[in-house]
Amino acid sequence: MIIITKDNIIPYIKEHYPAFDDTKPATVTIMGEDPQADEGEGDGHINYVFKILSPSGNFVLKQGLEDPRNLHSKRTVAAYRNNIEVKTLKILEKIVPEYVPYIVFEDPENHVFMMEFIENLKAVRFQLIKENQIPELGPETGRFLARSSFYTSEYYLPRSEFRKMQSAFENTELRQIMEDGIFLTRFGADLDPDEYGNWERFRAVSDDPSCQTNRLELRRTFMTHSDCLIHSDFHTSNVFLSDDGIKMLDFEFSFMGPFGYDLGYFTGSLIAAYCAACFKPYPTEEDRTQCKAYLLSTIKMLFDKYNKTFTDCWNKDAKEEYKNQDGFLQLILRDVLQDAAGYTAITNWCRTTDIFGLPEYMNIEDPELRKTAMAMAVLMDHQMILSRKTFETVDDMIDMIIHFEKTFLPLIIMN
């Protein structure tokens, strides 16, 4: 197996992509090595990622090794993850080409692929931290998720193709990281009292039997529902703003999973930003209010666009046995909302209580305010888990968030 380096990358590319012009100089950099690079380059990368600027074009080459470049847990990760990503991108290129890069070539034996380099990518997470509002974020993300969900589901695909996708995207080793890390590891773990203050309050939340039942129910759904092809690590560091609009990257954790998971994971990132916005400094309180309103409107537009797009796809392309069953479609969309609300809470709880923390909270310099923001997130997640099955529309979720802030925030501050 070849290990790609700066020294051998150009001959390697020429071998696999004969159209590449190696007679003229090319600039090769390894993403994440430059501390002055644009935001997000070092946030969670587990692959060796090379950027190539050349007369033949600009490209990104990724290699997945079992010994990852940067992974908090230091565990090995299945090298086949890049092969999964290539298969996912090829499918999405047929469904939502405007949101994903195209593949130039793949080398499954060495777990390598090369794709187009998209200019001026900026991770959405860090744009939001900088208070840069992205008006199209909710609608575009909702459209991407709805189209990719519907057109990889049994409601559209012939049964034989759907079964083949279930087999091809089992992704057992990588999805186990999510099955355990997201749903089990951080729940019931002792949290640092210096970060969370009076931990007994949070211990009571973590040990709440109703909360635990809901968490395990959501884990069961995550493990057993193969509704569609999902990203499964769909937070705001894997969604990017570019000159051409919103782009989605890093699909190595993809597998066939529940409709609502990616929606929930992405919403969890927005909830983290919302809780941070309640306590981080702003020039004026009006600026704070506007930021919080933007985040809530993004959540609403995300779900509204998902529902509209999914419904349009259903009415146009669903199998005949489903197409005219409006009641069944509404049942699906209600379940997607309620599951997504649960996954919102689970993923945000897990990421908030992770020992490495989230950039949203780390951006709050005052340690007491940071502690309070994180505490607010955990308690809001608890409330959302318990309330999720009462949600009929996304407005119910947003009302819960607003009500929680007004009702429970004074209790959180009292410590």
* Alpha-carbon span 277 to 291, nearest angstrom: 7
- Tell me what pLDDT residue 207 has: 74
- Say if residue 274's pLDDT is above 50: yes
List of residues 6+ apart from 143 with CB closer than 8 A = 96, 305, 306, 309
- Say if residue 145's pLDDT is above 60: yes
Query: Contact, 148 vs 90, CB < 8 A?
Result: no
- Tell me what pLDDT residue 109 has: 93
- Between β-strands 57-63 and 48-54, what pairing exists: parallel, antiparallel or unpaired? antiparallel
Number of Cβ within a 10 Å radius of residue 11: 11
Can you tell me the mean pLDDT for 361-389?
A: 90
Which CATH number applies to 122-413: 2.60.120.10, 3.30.70.260, 3.30.465.10, 3.90.1200.10? Answer: 3.90.1200.10
Write out the two tokens for 78. Answer: 């299945």
pTM of this structure? 0.92
Q: What's the farthest any 2 CA atoms get from each other in the chain?
A: 68
Superfamily, domain 9-116: Phosphorylase Kinase; domain 1 (3.30.200.20)
- Tell me what pLDDT residue 369 has: 87
* Alpha-carbon span 379 to 410, nearest angstrom: 12
- Tell me what pLDDT residue 48 has: 85
Q: How confident is the model at residue 407 (pLDDT cuts 50, 70, 90)?
A: confident
- Tell me what pLDDT residue 194 has: 63
Can you tell me the mean pLDDT for 269-283?
A: 95
Query: Contact, 68 vs 47, CB < 8 A?
Result: yes
List of residues 6+ apart from 104 with CB closer than 8 A = 17, 59, 113, 114, 115, 116
Query: Contact, 70 vs 48, CB < 8 A?
Result: no
Share of the chain above pLDDT 70, in %: 87
- Tell me what pLDDT residue 69 has: 55
Can you tell me the mean pLDDT for 151-175?
A: 94
Number of Cβ within a 10 Å radius of residue 279: 20
pLDDT top residue among 119 and 300: 300
User: What residue segments make up the domains of the chain, in order of their start?
Assistant: 9-116, 122-413
Query: Contact, 269 vs 254, CB < 8 A?
Result: no
- Say if residue 413's pLDDT is above 80: no
- Tell me what pLDDT residue 104 has: 97
pLDDT 10s digits, 21-77: 999 999 999 987 765 555 444 444 567 899 999 999 999 999 988 766 554 445 666
- Tell me what pLDDT residue 43 has: 44
Can you tell me the mean pLDDT for 79-94?
A: 92
Q: Which one-letter amino acid corresponds to residue 347?
A: T
- Say if residue 160's pLDDT is above 80: yes
pLDDT 10s digits, 176-219: 888 988 888 767 555 566 665 555 566 667 678 898 899 999 99
